Amino acid sequence: MKSLEHIAAALQGYDPDALPAHVVNAFLAQWVPAPERTENIALMQALGRVLAEDVVCPINVPAHDNSAMDGYAFDGKQLQTGSPLSLRVLGTARAGSPYAGAPSAGECVKVMTGAVMPAGLDTVVPQELAQANGDTITIPAGILHRGDNRRQAGEDLRQGSAALTRGARITPAALGLIASLGIAQVCVYARLRVAYFSTGDEILSLGDAPREGAVYDSNRYTVFGMLQRMGVEVLDLGVVPDQPAALRAAFERAAREADATITSGGVSVGEADHTKAMMRQLARSAPDGRGGGVVFWRIAMRPGRPMAVGRIGHKPLFGLPGNPVAVMVTFLAFVRPALWQMMGANVSEPPLLQARSSEAIRKKPGRTEYQRAIVSTGSDGSLTVRTTGQQGSGVLRSMVQANGLLVLAHEQGNVAVGDLVSVMLFDGVV
């Protein structure tokens, strides 16, 4: 396992006092461990899990040549005459009830969508294009080509091919796909367990009486919600006061019982606090060869400048800032991708879409800004975006109002009305 120092030394532009956002993700991609534990589970329990093995097709999909619509199946080579066709209808084939005969030239079979194509027939004329007269139909010339409206066996998936690959998240659509192959169990990575606690003597838990200078803990609930959306198990260690013994106990329990630890508060650079001291102490005490260590960063971003990462043994620690919006933004920008990697997932992060700004925005080059935004569809059908207004890192209400983040890149400057900007939508994320 590489040490934090070795990884940092290999990254171009690494500067812990002014770290570009993209360098943070490059660092974490090399630093977090890959998953090791797997389990076989029933398909009905697999939603949101990550495949640890390819799902290999035991059958062709579809299993047989079949009709793509309601109509009449016939031998398409008869279309070569270029003249209207008159065909006698021999019977009907339905999905799950094939026609058993073998039609000849001048004959056809009425077929329903999904019905197995009768032997020797390869083309279907939609029923609305055929002129029926008793047990005979006429097909006008020039409306079909041989093979039209037939789905071939294995057209969607070939027997022996990978229907889904290792690292894929099992979505509702994937559940249906796996079930269509007759597969009842899948091999997935074991569910990741993440410990989380807030730090600070000023933090109140719900149910505590208000007191001057204290604030109720919102960070545990936003992080809990984002972790739940990812499908991980959450170990909630509550609020831990700024006391060395309490912090040590929380860190040690987290490292013992969870795969990763997230904290909020107590990582501001230059601040003398027990959280930073305890992270350093525990990282230094890691067994030799296990890659222990801790680094504190000033990230060139807004909001969420201070952040810490480290290890107790091989278990990652993510020390996030204390302001509520900064916690959410740093989680989305850095922690979430790292946790996906620990879960074995090959899913990409939500794509950055392009939208036109409906307002002028001041922006200094040299940092990445994540502004809370409202994305909508303009009168011309294109996406437009505006900020929620005040962007202070403690204004949690703005995250509720927003449906996405306006992402202004590291080197980007001021934005004029009408400029194209990048946005990340929240749907399914927060």
**Among residues 342, 372, 398, which one ends one of the domains?**
342
Co-location of 195 and 334 in the same domain: yes
Residue 21 near residue 2 (C-beta atoms within 8 A): no
Any domain includes 156: no
Residue 183: name the closest of 40, 41, 43 by CA: 43
What lies within 8 Å, CB to CB, of 329 at 6+ separation is: 301, 303, 304, 370, 405
Residue 293 near residue 3 (C-beta atoms within 8 A): yes
Task: Residue 103: give its domain's CATH number.
Answer: 2.170.190.11
Neighbour tally for 348: CB within 10 Å: 8
Residue 291 pLDDT: 47
Residue 387 near residue 406 (C-beta atoms within 8 A): yes
Co-location of 127 and 179 in the same domain: no
Task: Residue 200: give its domain's CATH number.
Answer: 3.40.980.10
The boundaries of the domain holding residue 128 are: 66-151
Co-location of 174 and 305 in the same domain: no
Q: Compute mean pLDDT per 10 residues along the chain, 430 residues long, and list them.
A: 74 80 90 93 97 97 95 96 94 95 94 96 97 95 95 94 96 96 97 94 88 91 95 95 89 94 77 68 60 78 89 88 93 95 86 94 94 93 93 87 95 96 87
Residue 324 near residue 392 (C-beta atoms within 8 A): no
User: Residue type at 397?
Assistant: R
Co-location of 33 and 53 in the same domain: no
Any domain includes 205: yes
Side-chain-side CA neighbours of 306 within 13 Å: the count stands at: 15
Co-location of 48 and 21 in the same domain: no
Any domain includes 77: yes
Co-location of 78 and 8 in the same domain: no
Co-location of 138 and 12 in the same domain: no
Any domain includes 85: yes
Structural domain tally of the chain?
Answer: 4
Residue 292 pLDDT: 57
Residue 17 pLDDT: 80
**Among residues 317, 342, 367, which one ends one of the domains?**
342
Which strand (E) or helix (H) includes residue 73? strand 71-74
User: Residue type at 280?
Assistant: R
Ramachandran bin of 283, using left for φ above 0, alpha for ψ from -120 to 50, beta for the remaining angles: alpha
Any domain includes 413: yes
User: Residue type at 349?
Assistant: E
Residue 289 pLDDT: 41
Co-location of 299 and 205 in the same domain: yes
Any domain includes 160: no
